A and B are shown apart, each in its own frame.
Chain A
């Protein structure tokens, strides 16, 4: 099945070459750009539908690597966040011999063999957003991402300034084992340690989901007799779920329980403007341009840094959120 399009492509390439040669023979001899006309194939092993942030990020990448810009982007989202399907897509990109692979891993561990195969095939791999574990920088060219550690440190610094006398807090995490979760936890834990009064009453995963976060947090409130002042939700969706749970418990989010989230999607900023969330740290998804530059550098054989940080903002008040909302793209 697969061989047919390949044959067709071979014919197409042959046809194009013939045309190019014919053009050469026709007149001006400056067409040494036979390489320039060809599209660079980019395989994007993506996460797929996961939330507003991912949606914005992957749409941005797709909008950047267009045919007008000289790229043919092959977008391969994971099936229901399953790593197996990502590895399959990755392997088929290697077999196909694409020019460069972009990888947003759903899970950090277990990528060594696949990355080595790409290395043997001399296909550069650029990690987009998600890192791999263990973080062996020799296996990939570079990782481009906002810094999870910095972003969650920013949330923690806000928490420290908001609760100088301490309080009880709860953490709503993503699925266990994902690098984002580990990094966001580290950033938070390191910064919060400076206020001994801030007590962690627990942490649970809600799988990035609003529905699960609501269900988890209503039970957490009961098991702690509503004695929780702060929630650190590792993404917007879970923070919004926690806000609903707080309202249903008869408390007021933003007053009785302050909720801080990471991502900075539109619904979260709207909730911040209404005072239902108290702090939103952006985790900037729109770095397609940076990615494009890096891909070009890599293809030209230039050296790039193993880790490129995308700058992000924070929003700490309803006013800041209201000001940012009109220009929000995701």
Chain B
């Protein structure tokens, strides 16, 4: 009897302790709130050759966040942080729009532009990587420098303007559909799955975690810290570049002061909600995906419910704070602890 009960309790404990679980709960709750506001919220329609509905919109909106969240997740695993993802997004966007605005709008142009934009994003990520791994600067400082420099670079590229371009193939990346499903979400999921397989089906993930736990010990154990850190920051840059392409292609405009602005915070939030510790040493890509979906759901919910513009940040903050409190082991154990304390003091009273 007690055995079964304790095993059940243990399993429940394991689920409750898994932080991503609370992320899922939060998404479900937000969707439920929307359904209460409009019973037809979850319905998915089919019009003019593609699926449409609020859920589809959430998936589309989540694609850029998923990209930067996954990159951030890997960087955080090594005990670092990448504050430059938002700025790398705007650089990738600025490069794409600036190139496309001078081209004819063919698919070849789009492919070339994509390659150049992602290449530049990867190089910027690699610069972070070199600063961190070879020069040995603090990740916070190196990527902060890139965060400030990146937006500056974007402004130089477009001459300080918001550049607009026309290219149907490029726009298709963000707005198109394959088998009725948004291309942008399919691409995001394929990339996430590839990254997840790469790090979890090989020893790569463990090595990243080893660096995050104790970089000297990992080196003694034969982990190539430098090259791995360089790779991780480059990958984060590349993923941020993809996110930037997604964000700008959806409206075919780059807004140098707004595209990707403060999205590094969303990425960090997604990673943390997913149960990855900012101290490094462990990570969960699945958790980061849930975190990214939660942020997209939250953004869309605010608009759907018509929360007044002025109250939007407060609304978001409350949702996040409540979520983090629920996730916190300490807050949960506080209750347990108080119970235990009371029991102990009773025992002492009896003994005396």
On A, residues with C-beta under 8 Å from B are 48-52, 55, 80-81, 173, 175-177, 202-205, 207-212, 214-216, 218-220, 222-223, 237, 240-241, 244, 248-250, 267
> Complex formed: what's the CA distance from A50 to B160 in Å?
9
> Complex formed: what's the CA distance from A208 to B251 in Å?
14
Contact of B303 (CB < 8 Å), options: A208, A209, A211, A219? A219
> Complex formed: what's the CA distance from A51 to B161 in Å?
7
| Chain B residues whose C-beta falls within 8 Å of the C-beta of A51 in the assembled complex | 162, 255
**Shortest Cβ distance from residue A263 to the other chain B in the assembled complex, whole angstroms:** 12
A209 touches B255 (CB 8 A): yes
**Shortest Cβ distance from residue B55 to the other chain A in the assembled complex, whole angstroms:** 10
B251 touches A222 (CB 8 A): no
| Chain A residues whose C-beta falls within 8 Å of the C-beta of B136 in the assembled complex | none
> Complex formed: what's the CA distance from A240 to B47 in Å?
23
B: interface residue count bin: 35 or more
> Complex formed: what's the CA distance from A314 to B222 in Å?
70
> Complex formed: what's the CA distance from A187 to B304 in Å?
26
| Chain A residues whose C-beta falls within 8 Å of the C-beta of B306 in the assembled complex | 202, 204, 223
Q: Give the A-B pair count, Cβ closer than 8 A.
A: 89
Contact string against A for B residues 304-325, beta-carbon threshold 8 Å, 1 for contact and 0 otherwise = 1010111010000000000000
On B, residues with C-beta under 8 Å from A are 37-38, 47-48, 52-54, 57, 61, 151, 155, 160-162, 164, 175, 247-248, 250-251, 253, 255-259, 261, 299-300, 303-304, 306, 308-310, 312
Contact of A80 (CB < 8 Å), options: B61, B151, B161, B299? B151
| Chain B residues whose C-beta falls within 8 Å of the C-beta of A177 in the assembled complex | 310
> Complex formed: what's the CA distance from A267 to B161 in Å?
13
Other than A80-B261, A203-B308, A211-B255, give 9 A-B pairs with Cβ distance below 8 A: A49-B161, A49-B162, A177-B310, A204-B309, A211-B258, A215-B57, A215-B299, A215-B300, A223-B303
Given contacts A211-B253, A223-B304, contact A176 B48 (CB under 8 A): no
B255 touches A237 (CB 8 A): yes
**Shortest Cβ distance from residue A52 to the other chain B in the assembled complex, whole angstroms:** 7
Contact of B251 (CB < 8 Å), options: A207, A241, A249? A241
A210 touches B251 (CB 8 A): yes
Given contacts A203-B309, A211-B253, A219-B300, contact A250 B48 (CB under 8 A): yes
